[in-house]
Amino acid sequence: MVDVTITNDRPDRVAVASQWQLIWWAFKRHKLAMAAMVVTVAMYIVAIFPGFFAINDPILQNARTTFYPPQRVHLIDTTNGFEIGLHYYPTKLTRDPETLAAIYVEDKAQKKVPIQFFGRGYTYTVLGLFESNIHLLASSDPSKPLFLFGADRLGRDVYSRTVQGAQVSLSIGLVGVILSLLLGIILGGISGYYGGRIDFVLQRVIDFVLSLPTIPIWLAMAAALPQGWPATLQYMMITIILSFTGWAQLARVVRGRFLSLRTEEFVAAARLDGVSEGRIIFRHMLPSFSSHVIASVTLAVPAMILAETSLSFLGLGLQPPTISWGVLLREAQNIRSIATAPWLFMPGLAVVVAVMALNLFGDGLRDAADPYNK
Amino acid sequence: MTDILSITPRPPGIKPLLEVKNLVTEFPLRTGIFKAVNDISFAIEPGKTLCVVGESGSGKSVTARSILQIVDQPGRIASGSIVLNTKDGKSLDLAKLDPRGKAIRAVRGRDISMIFQEPMSSLSPVHTVGDQITEVLRLHLNMSKAEARKEAAELLRQVEIPNPEQALDRYAFQYSGGMRQRAMIAMALACKPQLLIADEPTTALDVTTQAEILDLIKRLQQTTGMAVLFITHDMGVVAQIADDVLVMHHGVVKEYGPVDQIFHTPQDPYTKMLIGSVLKLEQKAEIRLARPPLDTSAEPILDIRNLSMHFGEMKALNDVSISLLPGETLGIVGESGSGKTTMGRSIMRLYEPTGGEMHYRKANGQTVDLAKLEGAELKAARRELRMVFQDPFGSLNPRMTVAQVIGEPLLVNGILKGKALDEKVCHLMEQVGLDPAGRERYPHAFSGGQRQRIGIARAITLNPRIIVADEATSALDVSVRFQVLDLLMRLQDELKLAYIFISHDIGVIRYMCDRVGVMYRGKLVEVGEAEKVCNNPDHAYTQALISAIPRPDPRDRDRSRRFRYVEPAHTDTSNVKNGSSAR
Amino acid sequence: MLKFIVKRLFWMIPSLFAVSFLAFVLIQLPPGDFVTTYIATLASSNEVIDQNTAAQLRERFGLDQPMLFQYLKWIWGIISRGDFGMSFEWQQPVSGLIWERMALTLVLALASLIATWAIALPIGVYSAVKKYSIGDYAFTAFTFFGLSIPSFLLALVLMYVAAVEFGADVGGLFSQEYETASWSIGKMYDLLTHIWLPVAILAVSSTASLIRVMRANMLDELPKPYVTTARAKGLSEFRLLVKYPLRIALNPFISTIAWLLPNLISGSVVVAIVLNLPTAAPLLLQSLMAQDMYLAGAFVLLICALTLIGSLISDILLALVDPRIRLE
């Protein structure tokens, strides 16, 4: 029996609720998925405007701040009475008497440096359209920079680099999935709609692609990319490489949906109504599985992000000076680096948070995707 | 009502087998607590049959499951008692037992056992039937493997499964529908229970198979002396097998009494309605009788000649020829797999027929062969031939509003749009008895009967001349069924429609149709006046079919009239797979 | 049944050819060839090779012939003599370099597979049966975490913890004294003491996805009518659970080999590189970088063939345990 699972307190609203409305109500009930959606959206906003959220220029090297540790940020200042406001203190460099390793100590003797909201900082371009130097957080004293997540081997700000890396890493997942989806919808749609011999052959191809181990294939493909290519071309090639195997999963989903919809009575009824094939596909079938496809896509994005990160980490994906989370994690490849600067793992934390949020979000979507069943 | 728990007079000192008092079973929902069974009481005497009857959502199935405490999660017994009085004089209140405890498990399958509606899904797909039967024997009777197997074979023999030794090693999916239910019965009877609970055991079966299963249960009841609690929605079945009847509606008891009293002097209006609706199917509809007779000399509007539809080896339609007169209602009746649905779909060209012709006479007298139409011509023909589907849920796109569903044919054929379309949709909805104010609602806001009206409105949108209705009322409860049938007949007279009415239910056919064709294994075995075919058929298959229909009168229980049709030239050698050679 | 296996085996042939062709094309993709890379390497140490020598080198390695011809020659060598060609870089036959590393790759993948199953099966069943319990939520949280952390990151973190907290080096599969030793009981034992870490790392993400699969399977099966039938027979909850829904939920579980094995092997490549394990992966990466085509090709081919065989085995197993497939 097909019936609506949503029982709303106001049946009159349910009666006129479209599919998306019903899905949204079902999704809203899933608190964790809602939270994940908020995190996901926030991360993508950061990815669109990384310059605004960054503090220091992510490519600025500084020999004096090599492996500079993360700084503490204070909210309440009690040195002169009671003041509230984000601030930090400059640090003093000392050395461990035995190992001579650098130790940075907060120097409260110096004047505190307030942190400004919407302050001025380095100049960046927004989506390549216009320039700006306004940042969400800015240090009021550029000569004593703030390192929220510390600095790397070349003294670059890990926090700002992580924020910048979100742009490439999060978008590569999305672009890769959209590319896979196009392939998947075309091939899966053909397979499911026409059935028969075409379906049989495409099914075998899908099975074959799915049974391949992805990483060695990607490695071999990525190894073919010339090292000297410009960043954008590299980026495009990596998404194509990731889509090379990613389409099969989506094609399988699309095919399955098409096959089951083809036998639905309302599709037969539409055909008898004189509805053209095009309108059957776009008006009847596509709306019926678009929610499922969206859920599958949301679940495929994190896999793509993980793939890009792994490839770049191994040195066969994106190359510096492009900043992506995988590229940043290469800095953490060396056991000696991470032993001295464990904050180099911070981009990894960003990966985990992004992937987890997308997984939870997609999971909630998938559960809510079919409001008419059971 | 509690003081008249048991109806049949009983010598003092002998307790009923099972006494249910003030049983309440509830399901906690998000919106509150739903009482599926609300304060019901009844008793079952040893060796007798109690039928619990009601429409969908009446709580009859939950009642049955409450007895064994196997109500689906999160349902639970809230209050009341279920006292089982065993032969050795012990009494046990099943409602007080822990649903997962040892005490109730010892009762399940040994004192009380149960069979279900869907024998296919009620049996494990990956265990042999023998495995599942011996399991009960070994569990309750501590038999050895060899003993249990021998006993299981004996049980299969008892339920008349041929070659029981081999049948033990087969899987449920290798059995036919009727055989599966026999296997379920064998499993339930393994420990010679005192009570068999049968939850709609014949609803998924064809009427001839149903008759056999009912006979089997009756015979086993006579030999073993067990009592039966039979859950059904079919008043005909109740009339044939019940000693006592409990009528349920929305979780409460409407009426409780001996079968003869329920059928012949019913007190409750709901019971009267249920009985009335089966009795109605015993004759032609009043609307039909009031209509002037058809002009039988007219040229047929649709003439089907030698229509065949093969799916690989399977001949779903085998050389079928039949014609339809203008304004006529032609019934097509048959059991599952007879090819009746294939026929409807082939006429609509949802299937491409393998062979044959279908001559359709247009309003201007010109004829076209539907089997050969393509493109624009087919589209034009489909405006005059429309279809009503069986499933009121699956045949409406849940993502379109009712106005969009009904208006789509007009829109895509470029007939109406905008305000004119909206007005037409309102008019159509009024015509099928729906409130046009609800046209912006989605199908999920409507009940099954209302959805079927939406489907009918869609069918009459384009002023058709023929409507093919494929089991259009089968998914509906009896109380709603007549409203839809009467609507169809009213529209027929108003709009001068011809119907091809496909159904498995002889009663509905008799009520509705002028003529009827009987299908059996892809062939049309008999065509004639509905009255004649339904009451006095010529063909042996039709006779068998009619004989198997349970008569809705407890005073008419002559089972000896019933017989099974065996195709003369075709003797089936495969033993288990095919049910037709079982007896 | 036999027919099914034969048919399934028959289907392996085109797949294997497709894989070998794919491997070969992939290796051919980079512009230039080994000689170009070789010249570049030599040039960096100020050695210059003239055009003639380069041409001679190409001729010796057969690099001047058309690609299809090279492919056919390569594949014929493999089929007829088990000859995977020469490694340009190592100057020795590929087959001498790969087998031990492939064997260790297989051992690592199988160990991870078994660990994954052993952990995921009971947890998945528990999560489904005790739906929405605290335990279920805890395991669900773990699965989401396990799915979100890239295996190389987990390997790095564990290496960091081991190095900083315990001062231990957890890389490799063998202690130094066994690294080049021939196989013995001692070496086996040494392998066991090292392999648990990569196995644990690999098992985290695959266990996470498998728990979700198993939980979903069980949740599908639990409300089925045959479970009610079994309950109505008087079976205890545990017994009926194990005999019916668990048994049936196992079938889709078995078919997970088909995608779990490729995943594990993919994951093992990255983890092996991070932990510097003597499996196929580090050598594969190295040969890809150096365009050592026959060596890289052999690895890609064998790794893909391994997963194809995995899906073959899962199909056969599935047919063995599911009468619906076996008898239809």
Instruction: State which residues form the domain around C262.
Output: 103-327
Confidence check: pLDDT of B150 > 90:
yes
Question: Which 8-state DSSP code applies to residue B8?
Answer: S
Contact call for residues B181 and B115 (beta carbons, < 8 A): yes
pLDDT bin (cut points 50, 70, 90) of residue B3 is very low
pLDDT bin (cut points 50, 70, 90) of residue A138 is confident
CB pair distance less than 8 Å for B136 and C233:
yes
- Contacts of residue A369 in chain B, CB cutoff 8 Å? none
Q: Which segments of A232-356 are extended strands (E)?
A: none
Minimum mean pLDDT range among B3-12, B188-197, B572-581, C122-131 = B572-581
A to B CB pairs, distance under 8 Å: 78
Contact call for residues B23 and B37 (beta carbons, < 8 A): yes
Minimum mean pLDDT range among A156-160, A334-338, C72-76, C136-140 = A334-338
Bridge partners (DSSP) listed for residue B468: B387, B500
Which helix (H) or strand (E) covers residue C3, if one does? helix C2-28
Question: Which 8-state DSSP code applies to residue B504?
Answer: S
Q: Residue C290 — left, alpha, or beta (φ > 0 → left; ψ -120 to 50 → alpha)?
A: alpha
Are residues C89 and C145 located together in one domain of the fold?
no
As a whole number of angstroms, the distance between CA C96 and CA C84 comes to 9
Phi (first) and psi of residue B36, to 5 degrees: -70, -35
Phi (first) and psi of residue A157, to 5 degrees: -75, 115
User: Which chains reach chain C with 3 or more Cβ–Cβ distances below 8 angstroms?
Assistant: A, B
As a whole number of angstroms, the distance between CA B324 and CA B303 comes to 6
Q: Out of A2, A272, A275, whose CB is closest to B387?
A: A272
As a whole number of angstroms, the distance between CA C205 and CA C53 comes to 50
SS (H, E, C) A312-337: HHHCCCCCCCCCCHHHHHHCCCCHHH
- Contacts of residue C259 in chain A, CB cutoff 8 Å? 210-211
Are residues C265 and C146 located together in one domain of the fold?
yes
- Chain C nearest-CA distance from B192, in A, is 12
pLDDT score, position B480: 86
Minimum mean pLDDT range among B192-201, B387-396, C263-272 = C263-272
Q: How far apart are the first and last CA of chain B?
A: 44
Confidence check: pLDDT of A374 > 70:
no
Please tell me the number of Cα atoms within 13 Å of C132 on its side-chain side.
1
User: Could you tell me the two tokens for A132?
Assistant: 């700006």
Residue with token string 């809705």: B552
- Chain B nearest-CA distance from A248, in A, is 28
Are residues C13 and C36 located together in one domain of the fold?
yes
Most confident of the ranges A184-188, A258-262, B399-403, C303-307? B399-403
Q: Which segments of chain A are extended strands (E)?
A: 74-77, 83-88, 91-95, 102-106, 113-126, 130-139
Cα C267 versus chain centre, distance: 7
pLDDT score, position C24: 82
pLDDT bin (cut points 50, 70, 90) of residue B248 is very high
Are residues C66 and C206 located together in one domain of the fold?
no
pLDDT digits (tens, 9 = 90+) for C7-33: 888 888 888 888 888 888 877 776 666
* Contacts with A278 (C-beta within 8 Å, 6 or more apart), sequence order: none
As a whole number of angstroms, the distance between CA A18 and CA A33 comes to 21
pLDDT digits (tens, 9 = 90+) for B114-133: 999 888 889 998 899 999 99
Phi (first) and psi of residue A92, to 5 degrees: -115, 135
pLDDT digits (tens, 9 = 90+) for A117-126: 888 878 888 8
Q: Residue B360 — left, alpha, or beta (φ > 0 → left; ψ -120 to 50 → alpha)?
A: beta
Burial tier of C66 (Cβ tally within 10 Å: 0-12, 13-18, 19+): exposed
Are residues C22 and C135 located together in one domain of the fold?
no
Is domain B288-396+464-561 given the CATH code 3.10.20.440 in the classification?
A: no
Average pLDDT over residues C244-250: 89
CB pair distance less than 8 Å for C237 and B100:
yes
pLDDT digits (tens, 9 = 90+) for C59-70: 766 666 777 887
Question: Which 8-state DSSP code applies to residue B351?
Answer: S
Residues of B with CB under 8 A from a CB of C: 65, 68, 70, 72-73, 100, 105-110, 113-114, 116, 118, 121-127, 135-136, 139-140, 171, 173-174, 184, 187
* Contacts with B391 (C-beta within 8 Å, 6 or more apart), sequence order: A265, B475
Confidence check: pLDDT of B6 > 70:
no
User: Could you tell me the two tokens for B45?
Assistant: 């005497």
Confidence check: pLDDT of B9 > 70:
no
Q: What is the pTM of this model?
A: 0.84
Chain B residue with minimum CA distance to C323: B126
Chain B residue with minimum CA distance to A7: B31
pLDDT bin (cut points 50, 70, 90) of residue A5 is very low
User: Could you tell me the two tokens for B408?
Assistant: 């789509």
CB pair distance less than 8 Å for C324 and B171:
yes
Q: What percentage of chain B exceeds 70 in pLDDT?
A: 94
- Contacts of residue C157 in chain A, CB cutoff 8 Å? 345, 348
pLDDT digits (tens, 9 = 90+) for B453-509: 999 999 999 999 999 999 888 888 888 888 899 999 999 999 999 999 999 988 899
Average pLDDT over residues B170-176: 89
Are residues C216 and C245 located together in one domain of the fold?
yes
Q: Where are the domains of chain B?
A: 4-234, 288-396+464-561
Residue A341's nearest CA partner among A68, A64, A60, A65 is A68
As a whole number of angstroms, the distance between CA B170 and CA C324 comes to 11
Q: What percentage of chain A exceeds 70 in pLDDT?
A: 96
Bridge partners (DSSP) listed for residue B519: B524
CB pair distance less than 8 Å for A19 and B399:
yes
Question: How high is the mean pLDDT of chain A?
Answer: 82
Average pLDDT over residues B308-335: 90
Strands B32-44 and B18-29: antiparallel
A:238-257 residues touching chain C, CB 8 A cutoff: none
Residue that finishes a domain, picked among C41, C61, C94:
C94
Question: How high is the mean pLDDT of chain C?
Answer: 82
Residue B337's nearest CA partner among B498, B514, B178 is B178
C:47-86 residues touching chain A, CB 8 A cutoff: none
Are residues C72 and C137 located together in one domain of the fold?
no
As a whole number of angstroms, the distance between CA B345 and CA B502 comes to 11
CB pair distance less than 8 Å for C307 and A302:
no
Residue that finishes a domain, picked among C31, C66, C94:
C94
- Quickly list DSSP for C50-93: -HHHHHHHHHHHTTTS-HHHHHHHHHHHHHHH----EETTTTEE
Are residues C61 and C111 located together in one domain of the fold?
no
Confidence check: pLDDT of B579 > 60:
no
Distances in Å between the alpha carbon of B515 and those of B327, B370, B460, B501? 12, 22, 22, 10
- Contacts of residue C233 in chain B, CB cutoff 8 Å? 108-109, 113, 135-136, 139, 187
Confidence check: pLDDT of A215 > 80:
yes
Are residues C284 and C186 located together in one domain of the fold?
yes
B162 residue type, one letter? P
Question: How high is the mean pLDDT of chain B?
Answer: 87
pLDDT bin (cut points 50, 70, 90) of residue C262 is confident
pLDDT digits (tens, 9 = 90+) for B362-387: 888 889 999 888 888 898 899 999 99
pLDDT score, position C33: 64
Confidence check: pLDDT of B343 > 90:
yes
pLDDT score, position B5: 52
Minimum mean pLDDT range among A11-25, A78-92, B325-339, B356-370 = A78-92
Q: Out of C223, C234, C243, whose CB is closest to B110?
A: C234
pLDDT digits (tens, 9 = 90+) for C143-174: 888 888 888 888 888 888 887 777 766 667 77
Phi (first) and psi of residue B68, to 5 degrees: -95, 5
As a whole number of angstroms, the distance between CA B553 and CA A214 comes to 70
Which CATH number covers residue C281? Answer: 1.10.3720.10
Nearest 10 degrees: Cα torsion B75, B76, B78, B83: 130
- Quickly list DSSP for A28-47: HT-HHHHHHHHHHHHHHHHH
As a whole number of angstroms, the distance between CA C74 and CA C63 comes to 12
B130 residue type, one letter? G
Residue that finishes a domain, picked among C75, C94, C113:
C94
Strands B355-361 and B367-369: antiparallel
Average pLDDT over residues C306-311: 84
Contact call for residues B191 and B110 (beta carbons, < 8 A): yes
- Within 10 Å of residue B73's Cβ, how many Cβ atoms? 9
Residue B530's nearest CA partner among B556, B505, B567 is B505
User: Could you tell me the two tokens for C223?
Assistant: 């409300």
Coil, strand or helix at B574: coil
As a whole number of angstroms, the distance between CA B405 and CA B397 comes to 7
Distances in Å between the alpha carbon of C164 and those of A97, A100, B132, C175, C193? 20, 18, 59, 20, 20
As a whole number of angstroms, the distance between CA C161 and CA B352 comes to 69
Confidence check: pLDDT of A230 > 70:
yes
User: Could you tell me the two tokens for A196?
Assistant: 């028969």
As a whole number of angstroms, the distance between CA C230 and CA B126 comes to 14
pLDDT score, position B10: 59
Are residues C70 and C163 located together in one domain of the fold?
no
Domain tally, chain C: 2
pLDDT score, position B154: 92
SS (H, E, C) A140-202: CCCCCCCCCCCECCCCCEHHHHHHHHHHHHHHHHHHHHHHHHHHHHHHHHHHHHHCHHHHHHH
C311 touches chain A (CB under 8 A): yes
pLDDT score, position A26: 86
Could you give the ipTM of this predicted complex?
Answer: 0.82
B399 touches chain A (CB under 8 A): yes
Bond into B74 cis (ω within 30): yes
CB pair distance less than 8 Å for C153 and A338:
no
pLDDT digits (tens, 9 = 90+) for B39-73: 999 999 999 999 999 988 889 999 999 999 999 88
CB pair distance less than 8 Å for B412 and A287:
no
Residues of A with CB under 8 A from a CB of B: 1-4, 7, 9, 11, 14-19, 264-266, 268-276, 279, 284, 287-288, 372
pLDDT score, position B183: 93
Average pLDDT over residues A95-105: 74
Chain A residue with minimum CA distance to B402: A16
Is domain B4-234 given the CATH code 3.40.140.10 in the classification?
A: no
Phi (first) and psi of residue A67, to 5 degrees: 50, 35
User: Could you tell me the two tokens for B568?
Assistant: 């003369």
Residue with token string 């019940």: B242
